[in-house]
Chains A and B, each alone.
Chain A
């Protein structure tokens, strides 16, 4: 199953993220891929605000993992800098901490991603418009997409 959604601007991306948030569950894994400036962090910001995170969500590029308190804990990651080498960062630990995990550039660590997860690929159409290719893996994520999309 694959969904293609067109978002016309940042607000659309935020709204979509908020809709996913409304169906959240512990250990939810969302993998975001797409070039620089395509809206990955915007999606994370939208999700976090719906999750009740009060802090400003800043880019995790430098610190790789940022943790926030919300209705569920939020683990926001950008694994680009790891260049596929996840030794010593213990990313897998976060998959079972009963929080929501949002991973930017997740394709670079494909080997360690859980089999069941949600993949979202951001494709830039023009300055504001994006096509989001959303692929659920596993029953739980298929149901999630049914409910949201």
Chain B
């Protein structure tokens, strides 16, 4: 079964054709850089969202890449939320239009379900599993008993982990996005700054706002005293606290839910320290560890196509009344 998948929840316009939920026959991701090339000029991030025409270019490209015609497609999967409403709508209208004109089933996919199923493009998911979804907008622990069954057991109460990295990087005058720059710097530093372990309790929830404030206060205080911050050391200390709390709560979930598999998903899954710590913890507990390749960590339609296949098998369909939703729960359309 070939699914044409469409993802436009944030800054990337992406389409992909996925066979049977695991084989990527062709993926096109139109990021800002590609737009610069294609249009020969700088198009700001937000303006790109209103570039509705890019979606037709992506459609043509993905069909060419997979050497297919629309007739070869069995169903259309689309991200309906969460995300920026204006962005989501572009992909959603395209999906509805294609589904309507060519009379194909329409499958609504939650963005986070997509991130989780990105792993299915690498290894078949083994159930039951715990998924840790970490990105610029999300920090969630999800329990999956079987395919396309999601139970959110915890999440952030304030800032997402990627967002916390970005904001800490801003305070430290490091480049955006903050994740890679802090990760790189941390490798050259030592854990010398005292920072709190945020929301170190028995829940599965996270709070990164306090850690962010602690870093900001530390920087201000040192400045006021006329001391120079050792950026490598601060990056290392900050990253270690993030790694500590993510690992601690994830391991607790792995044990309590007695699962065989941990999957990590989302853009922050590319962070080497977080990846290594979780991988080691899994090794210690004899649990298999899956993380998607970098290409599938950030936003892409391949993951939506993979998730869409399993949603389809579960009988999940939408009609043309499907609406984009800025906020929605993973459990909503099950």
Which residue from chain A places its CB closest to the CB of B216 in the assembled complex? A37
State which residues 165-185 of B face A: CB under 8 Å.
Answer: 166-167, 170-171
Q: A36-B171, A65-B85 are in contact. Are A86 and B46 (CB under 8 A)?
A: yes
Q: Mark B129-159, 1 if CB is under 8 A from A, else 0.
A: 0000000110000000000000000011111
Q: Which of B46, B82, B167 contacts A88 (CB 8 A)?
A: B46
Q: Cβ of A37 and Cβ of B327 under 8 Å apart?
A: no
Shortest A80–chain B CB gap in Å is 9
B213 close to chain A: CB less than 8 A:
yes
A63 CA to B164 CA in the complex, in Å? Answer: 14
Do most interface residues of chain B lie in helix, strand or loop, or is the interface mixed?
helix
Q: Are B170 and A85 in contact (CB under 8 A)?
A: no
Instruction: Find out whether the CB atom of A37 lies under 8 angstroms from the CB atom of B86.
Output: no
- The reply on B64 being an interface residue by CB < 8 A is no
Report the minimum CB–CB distance from B126 to chain A (whole Å): 30
> Are B157 and A88 within 8 A (Cβ)?
no
CA distance in complex: A88, B48 (Å): 9
Residues of B within 8 A of A82 (CB): 46
Counting CB contacts under 8 A, is B3 at the interface?
A: no
Q: Does B259 contact A (CB under 8 A)?
A: no
Count of chain A residues with a beta carbon within 8 Å of a chain B beta carbon = 24
At the interface, yes or no: B281 with Cβ under 8 Å from chain A? no
Which residues in window 77-109 of A have CB below 8 A to B? Answer: 82-83, 85-90
CA distance in complex: A147, B83 (Å)? 38
Tell me whether A49 is interfacial, beta carbon within 8 Å: no
Q: In the complex, A124 Cα to B220 Cα: how many Å? A: 10
A59 adjacent to chain B (CB < 8 Å) = yes
Please tell me if the beta carbons of B160 and A59 are within 8 angstroms of each other in the complex: yes
**Chain B residue at minimal CB-CB distance from A36:** B167
Which partner residue on chain B sits nearest A35 by CB separation? Answer: B216
A90 to B88, CA, bound (A): 14
Distance between Cα atoms of A120 and B46 in the complex (Å): 26
A64 to B213 Cα, complex, angstroms: 21
User: 0/1 per residue, B33-64, Cβ < 8 Å to A?
Assistant: 00000000000111101100000000000000
**How far, in whole Å, are A127 and B220 apart by their CA atoms in the complex?**
9
Find chain A residues with CB under 8 A from B44 CB.
Answer: 83, 85
Q: A36-B171, A58-B156 are in contact. Are A87 and B47 (CB under 8 A)?
A: yes
Which of A41, A87, A127 meets B46, CB within 8 Å? A87
CB-based contact A36/B327 at 8 Å: no
Q: A66 contacts the other chain (Cβ, under 8 Å)?
A: yes
The reply on A3 being an interface residue by CB < 8 A is no
**Contact status A88-B49, CB under 8 Å:** yes
Chain A residue at minimum C-beta to C-beta distance from B138: A62
For residue A86, which residues in chain B have a CB less than 8 angstroms away from its CB? 46
Are B50's CB and A88's CB within 8 A? yes
- Chain B residues with CB under 8 Å of A63's CB are 82-84, 137, 326-327
Using Cβ atoms and an 8 Å threshold, which residues of chain B touch A89?
46, 49, 84, 86
Contact B47 A85 (CB under 8 A): yes
Within the complex, the shortest CB–CB distance from B155 to chain A, in Å, comes to: 8
Q: With A and B bound together, what is the CA distance between A51 and B166 in angstroms? A: 30
Give chain A's interface residues, CB within 8 Å of chain B. Answer: 35-37, 41, 56, 58-59, 61-67, 82-83, 85-90, 124, 127
20 contacts between A and B (CB under 8 A): A36-B171, A37-B167, A37-B209, A37-B216, A58-B155, A58-B156, A58-B159, A58-B160, A59-B158, A61-B159, A61-B163, A61-B167, A64-B84, A83-B44, A85-B44, A86-B46, A87-B47, A88-B47, A88-B50, A88-B86
The 10 A-B residue pairs whose C-beta atoms are closest, nearest first, are A62-B137, A88-B50, A37-B216, A37-B213, A59-B159, A88-B49, A85-B46, A88-B86, A127-B217, A62-B136
